[in-house]
Structure 1
Amino acid sequence: MAFTIRQLSSSTVPGGIPTCITYPNPAEGLTANFELKSGLLHRLPTFYGLSMEDPNQHLMEFQFICLSMKPHLVDENILKLKACPFSLTDKAKQWLYELPSGHITSWDDMMKAFLDKYFPTSRIIMLRKKISGIQQGVDESYADYHERFKSFLAQCPQHGMKDETLLTCFYEGLTNLERDMLDAASGGSFMDKQPAAGMALIQSRASNQQQYGGIRSTTHEIHGVNEVSTFAHLEDKINKLTSLVSQVVTTKGQTMACGVCSMQGHAADQCPQLMENEGVNAIGFQQGQNRRRNDPFSNTYNEGWRNHLNFHWRDNDNVQGVAPNANYNRAPPSFFQKTQAPLNSTPLNSSSSSSSNNNSDEIIKMLATSNQTLVQGQNLIQNMMEEMEKQLGKWLII
């Protein structure tokens, strides 16, 4: 039967669209005729084909789910081949569709093609360098260092390094203290151990620190915070007390403040303001010595008004020769001159100096108390350090 040009140029493909997967024959006693359940498909991990994703972890999780949900008498490899396309999406699924027809004939072929694409040799070399050059951080615990080492191994199961090489890299990356502790736990030298015994020992040490080291380290951190805050508080108090003592000493070495002008450097009875007023009064007395005694504008202010002809009065009402009802000679109500305290009073100066001495004694007592508290804090820290050394010795023995 001859085909026409239209039939030959049609878009149909004989035998259907070719696929990259060719399913193998099932193993003896197993079947390849089964249906993928929706529960299995919904639990499969998803791989997008991004550079930040871990292809080895995806394959590990995928195999766990397929093994745990495998139907009875179903070939395991065929189940993985059928379920694998449902775990890929976006760029990863497009990559699978672009593989040549019949390129994959077994589950091993699928894993090899997948890892060649998303876990190339350059990435393996990079992780090998991380494993061989691993170093424990200054603030990193032994358990965290061991977990980071295992994480590198899990990310690169294709590292191809032997156990003795891995143990050597792990041992050389430890800090000096942790290396000495590992040697002590080995009963001599860690490098004298067999590879299997060495792997068991580093795992055992990490497990012990995770179980019992967390409480001790947490307690130490809490005490450390308390110690830092306590020392900061004591240091602040000592600084304040030192400042107060220096102020008191400076005040004692200086002249007391004047009671008239509140200035330092001279006594109250030698205040320049008083000296100036006395000079002015003396000059005024000399210039006005010819004034009348009754002049209200004289320097003797109260006496001038008292003896004035029209405004004079007397203190004593019972003066002889004056009638009792003569009110003109009485002093006006509330017209009395207030008495002023002396400018330089000796009791005031003595009281201020005594109060200053009392303040100095109190400050010295406070400073002695703070120093005693600081010494107690240092003794407490010393006891804590001795207790930590004892606990460390017990742990090394274990």
Structure 2
Amino acid sequence: MRELRRKLFKGTDDEDAHEHVRRVLEIANLFHFPGVTHDAVMLRVFPIILKGPALRWINRLSAGSITTWDLLEKAFIRKYCPPFKTAKKLEMIRNFKQEMNETLYCAWERYNDLLFKCSHHDLNYQQKVHLFYTGLDIPTRRVLNSKGFIPLMTLTQDLMSIQVMAEHSHNWYDDATIRERINDSPNNVDTKKPKENIHAIQASSRIVKGHI
């Protein structure tokens, strides 16, 4: 209970209802109480980890209207993750663009964060890879294509290629060092992308050929 109550849900716009449910289930599923059903546990536990407007909402539910965890979860999601919020998150995923001076690793991490925050996006793996790839700038796409055209690879191959190059980019880069070099350069020219691309190409040459 102490772990559950470390992060209470209030129902503000910046909170993720799906993430909150997932967190509660991860903790609650670690324990089993003989003779007590999962429904009974969740119906008892869930109200305790709400506060403010969210707690008032659940207390105002009609008596006897919620008798199972499934009903409570659906009511909670309808209340705090209505269709317009889902549509907004999906729009952010579909319109994903690599930011200026953003490394491949940072872009990949940010993109996966968007997917995580919208776990009900209903996008298959091929669509997810396509949206990420098309959102990258041209130099980064060229790097990813250096050992094979990403859109023509199998799912396993393109994911491996992206992950290997992204990790290599991360291992070779220290953002603070790069910013310092850029600021100290005579013309304040951004040298981050070219160097990242060189290291990523070197990484791609070390990917097992059987996977590309």
TM-score, reference length from structure 2: 0.81
Q: Counterparts of 1:97 and 1:112 in 2: how far apart (Å)?
A: 16
1:147 aligns with 2:109: yes
Identity of aligned residues (%): 22
Give the alignment partner of residue 72 of structure 2, picking from 110, 119, 130: 110
1:193 aligns with 2:153: yes
1:81 aligns with 2:57: no
Change (3 A) 1:190 1:42: closer
Q: How does 1:12-91 map to 2 (within 5 A)?
A: 40-41=1-2, 43-44=4-5, 45-68=7-30, 70-73=31-34, 74-91=36-53
Give the alignment partner of residue 59 of structure 2, picking from 83, 94, 97: 97
| Alignment check: 8 A CA contact 1:41 1:83 kept | no
Give the alignment partner of residue 131 of structure 1, picking from 72, 93, 105: 93
| Alignment check: 8 A CA contact 2:143 2:197 kept | no
| Alignment check: 8 A CA contact 2:165 2:200 kept | no
Which amino acid counterpart does residue 191 of structure 1 have in structure 2?
Answer: P
Q: CA deviation at 1:172?
A: 0.5
Name stretches of at least 5 consecutive residues in structure 1 with no aligned partner.
Answer: 1-39, 233-385
Which amino acid counterpart does residue 203 of structure 2 have in structure 1?
Answer: W
| Alignment check: 8 A CA contact 1:182 1:190 kept | yes
1:207 aligns with 2:207: no
Change (3 A) 1:81 1:180: same
Change (3 A) 1:209 1:61: same
Change (3 A) 1:225 1:41: closer
Match in the other structure for 1:397: 205
Q: CA deviation at 1:125?
A: 0.9
Change (3 A) 1:82 1:213: same
Which amino acid counterpart does residue 103 of structure 1 have in structure 2?
Answer: S
Higher relative contact order, chain-length normalized (CA < 8 Å, sep 6+): 2
Q: CA deviation at 1:159?
A: 1.3
Q: CA deviation at 1:387?
A: 8.8
Q: Deviations over 1:95-125 (max 9, x none)?
A: 1122223222322221111000000001111
Change (3 A) 1:191 1:391: closer
Change (3 A) 1:392 1:148: closer
Q: CA RMSD in A?
A: 2.7
Rg larger in 1 or in 2? 1
Q: Counterparts of 1:389 and 1:99 in 2: how far apart (Å)?
A: 56
